[in-house]
Amino acid sequence: MDLRQLRYFIAVARERNFTRAAEKLHIAQPPLSRQIQLLEEELGVTLISRASRPLRLTDAGKLFLEQALQILGRVEQMKAATQRVGHQQRRVFSIGFVASTLYGGVPALVRELRKHAPELDIQLVELMSVQQIEALKAGRIDIGFGRIRRNDAVVERTVLREERLVLAVAPGSRLADNDAPVAIAELAGEDLIVYPKGQHPSFADQVLALLEDHGVRPGNVHEVSEMQIALGLAAAATGICVVPYTASLHRTDLHYRVIDDEHATSPIILSHRRDDDSPYIVLIKQLVQELYAASPPWLGPAGGNL
Distant-in-sequence, close-in-space partners of 210: CB < 8 Å, separation ≥ 6: 165, 184, 242, 261, 263, 264
Class of domain 161-265: alpha beta
Element (H, E) at 176: none
DSSP 277-304: --HHHHHHHHHHHHHHHT--GGG-S-S-
CATH topology of domain 3-78: Arc Repressor Mutant, subunit A (1.10.10)
Distance of CA 180 to the CA centre of its chain: 32
pLDDT in tens, 201-226: 889 999 999 999 999 999 999 999 88
**What pLDDT is attached to residue 305?**
37
**What pLDDT is attached to residue 90?**
65
Torsion over CA: 244, 249, 254, 258 (sign): positive
Q: Distance of CA 306 to CAs 136, 160, 249, 260, Å? A: 23, 5, 21, 21
DSSP 86-122: HTTPPEEEEEEE-GGGGGTTHHHHHHHHHHH-TTEEE
Rg from Cα positions in the chain: 23
Distance CA 242, CA 192 (A): 8
Parse the chain into domains and list their residue ranges: 3-78, 91-155+271-299, 161-265
**What pLDDT is attached to residue 26?**
93
Cβ atoms of 153 and 103 closer than 8 Å: no
Q: Distance of CA 48 to CAs 12, 55, 57, 63, 251, Å? A: 9, 7, 5, 12, 51
What percentage of the chain reaches a pLDDT higher than 70?
A: 95
Distance CA 140, CA 19 (A): 27
**What pLDDT is attached to residue 87?**
63
Mean pLDDT, residues 272-296: 91
Residues in the chain: 306
The reply to whether 91-155+271-299 and 161-265 are identical in fold is yes
Helix residue ranges, H only, 53-202 = 59-86, 106-116, 129-137
Mean pLDDT, residues 49-64: 89
Does the pLDDT at position 168 exceed 70? yes
Strand segments, DSSP code E, in 11-71 are: 48-49, 56-57
Mean pLDDT taken over the chain: 89
Strand segments, DSSP code E, in 155-292 are: 155-169, 192-194, 221-223, 240-244, 255-258, 265-273
Assigned superfamily of 91-155+271-299:
Periplasmic binding protein-like II (3.40.190.10)
Distant-in-sequence, close-in-space partners of 152: CB < 8 Å, separation ≥ 6: 66, 133, 137
Mean pLDDT, residues 134-160: 91
Distance CA 267, CA 144 (A): 13
Does the pLDDT at position 244 exceed 50? yes
Element (H, E) at 145: strand 143-146
